[in-house]
């Protein structure tokens, strides 16, 4: 795995007790997740922790390991650059897309004044 890589998944990706998983994938340096379908709780945690995730029917069969992907969240498309195939993805609702672009739930709540800014962690 390289920083910025895209994870392609199958059906009901993230099902189960996965609360920290979205943040862990982001912290590993993955660029985003695209799956045939994403478990609802896992999907919302992806957005809350600013880990881009998108559903795209048939995406699992459209990619092989090592293929290059191009994801456009605004246009709702997933393109396999290696094969030239482009798929229509399921767009995020505007509020969730704004939340994702804001850096996640905490930064958005801080900017909108709902919570006090968190203390910055000092470098060790």
Q: Is residue 1 part of a domain?
A: no
pLDDT confidence of residue 72: 95
Alpha-carbon distances of 80 from 15, 27, 69, 83, 111, rounded to whole Å:
26, 25, 5, 6, 36
- In eight-state DSSP terms, residue 36 is S
Q: Is residue 120 part of a domain?
A: no
CATH code of the domain in which 80 resides: 3.20.19.10
Q: Is the pLDDT of residue 122 over 80?
A: no
Average pLDDT, the chain: 92
The total domain count for the chain is: 1
Q: Is residue 121 part of a domain?
A: no
Q: Is residue 59 part of a domain?
A: yes
pLDDT confidence of residue 123: 56
Q: Is residue 76 part of a domain?
A: yes
Q: Is residue 15 part of a domain?
A: yes
**Host domain of residue 76:** 6-111
Rounded average pLDDT over 19-31: 90
């Amino acid at each position: 795995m390289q920083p910025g890589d895209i994870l392609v998944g199958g059906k009901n990706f993230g099902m189960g007790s996965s609360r920290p998983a979205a943040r862990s994938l982001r912290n590993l340096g993955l660029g985003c997740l695209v799956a045939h379908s994403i478990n609802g709780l896992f999907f919302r945690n992806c957005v809350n922790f600013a880990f881009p995730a998108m559903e795209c029917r048939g995406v699992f069969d459209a990619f092989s390991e090592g293929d290059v992907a191009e994801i456009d969240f605004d246009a709702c498309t997933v393109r396999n650059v290696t094969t030239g195939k482009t798929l229509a993805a399921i767009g995020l609702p505007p509020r969730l897309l704004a939340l994702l672009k804001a850096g996640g739930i905490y930064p958005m709540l801080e900017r909108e004044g709902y919570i006090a800014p968190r203390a910055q962690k000092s470098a060790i």
